[in-house]
Amino acid sequence: MPVFDFNDAPDKKNPAECTYTTFQSSEPEASPEKPILILDNSKRKWQHHSCGMFTNPVKRTTFEFHEEDGTISADILKIDARFVSLLKWLGENHISVRLSGENRPEGYAVYKIRETAFGGGTKLSAEDGFLQFMIERLFASDAPGEEEADESLEEAGDDMKLTSLQSITDFMNCAGRTLPDNIRLWARRNLAVARSHEVSPEERRHAQRALSIMMNVQWKSNYFESIDPNEARRILDEELYGMERVKQRIIETIIQINRTHTLPAYGLLLVGPAGTGKSQIAYAVARILKLPWTTLDMSSINDPEQLTGSSRIYANAKPGIIMDAFSMAGESNLVFIINELDKAASGKGNGSPADVLLTLLDNLGFTDNYMECMIPTVGVYPIATANDKSQISAPLMSRFAVIDIPDYTAEEKKIIFSRFALPKVLKRMGLKDGECVVAPDGLDAVVEFFAGTSGIRDLEQAAEHIAANALYQIEVDHVSEVVFNRKMVMELLG
Give the model confidence (pLDDT) of 431-442 as tens digits. 887 889 999 999
pLDDT for residue 109:
95
Q: Average pLDDT in the 271-287 region?
A: 85
- Cβ contact 157:136 at 8 Å: yes
For residues 210 and 214, give the distance between their C-alpha atoms in angstroms, rounded to a whole number.
6
For residues 14 and 396, give the distance between their C-alpha atoms in angstroms, rounded to a whole number.
66
pLDDT for residue 5:
45
**Does the pLDDT of residue 126 top 70, yes or no?**
no
Percentage of the residues of the chain whose pLDDT score is greater than 70: 89
CATH for the 229-404 domain, from 3.40.50.10440, 3.40.50.300, 3.90.1300.10, 3.40.220.10: 3.40.50.300
The domain limits of the chain are 21-152, 179-215, 229-404, 410-493
Q: Output the CA–CA distances (angstroms, integers) from residue 26 to 21, 84, 219, 238, 379, in the order listed.
A: 17, 14, 16, 36, 20
Closest C-alpha to 271, from 422, 396, 436, 149:
396
**Does the pLDDT of residue 158 top 50, yes or no?**
no
pLDDT for residue 15:
56
- C-alpha angle with apex 336: 384 to 241, nearest 5 degrees? 55
Q: Is the dihedral of CA 177, 181, 182, 186 positive or negative?
A: positive
**Does the pLDDT of residue 1 top 60, yes or no?**
no
What number does CATH give the domain 410-493? 1.10.8.60
pLDDT for residue 110:
95
The amino acid at residue 378 is: V
- Cβ contact 350:387 at 8 Å: no
Top mean pLDDT of 10-19, 135-144, 159-168 is at 135-144
Q: Average pLDDT in the 327-331 region?
A: 88
Q: Taking the CA of residue 28 as centre, how many other CA atoms within 13 Å lie in the half-sphere pointing to its CB?
A: 0
pLDDT band, residue 58 (cuts 50/70/90): very low
For residues 364 and 188, give the distance between their C-alpha atoms in angstroms, rounded to a whole number.
23
- Cβ contact 346:304 at 8 Å: no
Strand pairing class (482-484; 436-438): parallel
Q: Average pLDDT in the 361-378 region?
A: 87
**Model-wide pTM > 0.85:** no
pLDDT for residue 348:
56
For residues 417 and 443, give the distance between their C-alpha atoms in angstroms, rounded to a whole number.
8
Q: Average pLDDT in the 416-427 region?
A: 88
Q: Average pLDDT in the 408-433 region?
A: 87
pLDDT for residue 296:
86
The amino acid at residue 323 is: M
**Does the pLDDT of residue 340 top 50, yes or no?**
yes
pLDDT for residue 120:
47
Interhelix angle 165-175/181-195, nearest 10 degrees:
150
Residue pLDDT, tens place only, 10-46: 444 555 567 788 999 888 999 999 999 999 999 899 9
For residues 173 and 466, give the distance between their C-alpha atoms in angstroms, rounded to a whole number.
64
Q: Average pLDDT in the 70-99 region?
A: 89
Name the least confident of 123-127, 233-237, 252-256, 344-348.
Answer: 123-127
pLDDT band, residue 60 (cuts 50/70/90): low
pLDDT for residue 39:
93
pLDDT band, residue 68 (cuts 50/70/90): confident
pLDDT for residue 365:
81
Residue pLDDT, tens place only, 247-273: 888 999 999 999 999 988 888 999 988
- Cβ contact 422:378 at 8 Å: no
- Cβ contact 320:370 at 8 Å: yes
**Does the pLDDT of residue 424 top 70, yes or no?**
yes
**Does the pLDDT of residue 137 top 50, yes or no?**
yes
For residues 371 and 365, give the distance between their C-alpha atoms in angstroms, rounded to a whole number.
13
Percentage of the residues of the chain whose pLDDT score is greater than 90: 30
**Does the pLDDT of residue 101 top 90, yes or no?**
yes
Q: Average pLDDT in the 78-87 region?
A: 90
For residues 337 and 323, give the distance between their C-alpha atoms in angstroms, rounded to a whole number.
14
